[in-house]
Structure 1
Amino acid sequence: MNEGDYSALLPVRYGRFSQHTPPLDVSIPPSYNSRMADKDVNPKLQAKLRRLGMVKGARKLKPAPPVGSGRFSANSDRLSVSSHQSENHPSNSTPQPLEKLLPGLERAETAVGACSVLDKVYPLTHKHGADALADLLAFTPDNVAAYVQDGRFRGLDFRDFVFLDTETTGLAGAGTLAFMVGVGFFDGDVFITRQYFLRDHGDEPAMLTLLDELLAEKAGIVSFNGRSFDLPLLDGRYLMNRMPGRILELPHLDLLHPARRLWRERLGSCALGSLEQTLLHVRRTHADVPGFAIPGMYHDYLRTGDGREMARVFYHNEIDLLSMVTLTTRLMGLLHQPDNAHPVDVYSLGKWQAALGLAELSEKQLKLAAQGDLPLNLYHKALYELGWLLKRNGRRAEAVPLWQQIAATTFDDVTAHIELAKFYEWHEPDLSKAIQWTQQALTL
Structure 2
Amino acid sequence: MRIENSFIPVRGVGEATERRLWENGMTHWNEFDGGVVGDTLADRIERFIDEGRDHLERGDISTFAEALPAASRWRLYENVREETAFLDIETTGLDAATNDVTTVSVHRGGETETLVRGRDLTARRLREELAQSSLLVTFNGKRFDVPFLETCYDLDVTTPHVDLMYPCKKVGLDGGLKAIERELGIGREMPDLSGRDAVRLWREYERGDDAALERLVEYNRADTENMKPLLELVADRLHESVFEAVCSDG
TM-score of the two chains, using structure 1 as the length reference: 0.38
The letter of the residue matching 1:175 is T
Shift of 1:155: 8.5
State how far apart, in whole Å, the 2-side matches of 1:277 and 1:154 are: 23
Shift of the alpha carbon at 1:166?
0.1
| CA drift at 1:185 | 0.4
AA partner of residue 169 (structure 1): T
Report the CA distance between 1:284 and its aligned residue: 3.7
1:276 aligns with 2:195: no
Is the Cα contact below 8 Å between 2:136 and 2:162 reproduced in 1? yes
Does 1:332 find its partner at 2:247? Answer: no
Shift of 1:172: 1.4
| 1:13-92 alignment runs, 5 A limit | none
Alpha-carbon distance in structure 1 between the residues aligned to 2:185 and 2:122: 31
Q: Is the 8 A contact 1:165 1:230 kept in 2?
A: yes
The separation in 2 between residues aligned to 1:277 and 1:152, in whole angstroms, is: 24
Cα pair distance change 1:256/1:323, threshold 3 Å: same
Larger radius of gyration: 1
TM-score scaled to structure 2, two decimals?
Answer: 0.65
Match of 1:262 among 160, 171, 188: 171
Aligned to 1:192: 111
CA contact (8 A) 1:170 1:177 kept: yes
In the alignment, which residue of structure 2 is the partner of 1:318? Answer: 221
Q: How big is each residue's C-alpha offset from its partner over 1:251-270, in whole Å with a ceiling of 9 and x where there is no partner?
A: 10000111122123xxxx42
Structure 1 residues not aligned, in runs of 5+: 1-138, 240-244, 339-348, 350-360, 368-444
Match for residue 109 of structure 1? none
* Structure 2 contact 96–152 (Cα < 8 Å) conserved: no
Measured against aligned partners, the alpha-carbon deviations of 1:72-114 in whole angstroms (never above 9, x if no partner) come to xxxxxxxxxxxxxxxxxxxxxxxxxxxxxxxxxxxxxxxxxxx
Note if 1:229 corresponds to 2:138. no
Greater relative contact order (CA < 8 Å, ≥ 6 in sequence): 2
Q: Quote the offset at 1:296 in angstroms.
A: 2.3
What is the aligned partner in structure 2 of residue 301 from structure 1?
A: 205
1:394 corresponding residue in structure 2: none
For residues 161 and 337 of structure 1, the distance between their equivalents in structure 2, rounded to whole angstroms, comes to 22
**How far 1:336 sits from its partner (Å)?**
1.7
**Selected match of 1:158 from 81, 88, 100:** 81
> Which of 182, 187, 193 is the matching residue for 2:105?
182
Q: Secondary structure at the match of 2:193?
A: coil
Q: Displacement, 1:194?
A: 0.5
**Alignment partners' CA distance in 2, 1:246 and 1:218:** 14
The corresponding residue for 1:213 is: 128
Q: Matched residues in 1 for 2:75 and 2:150: separation? A: 21
Alpha-carbon distance, 1:274 to partner = 0.9
Deviation, structure 1 residue 162: 0.8
3-state SS of paired residue (2:182): helix
* Paired letter, 2:217: F
Q: 1:278 to 1:141 in 2, by over 3 A?
A: farther
SS in 2 for 1:263: coil
Shift of 1:156: 3.6
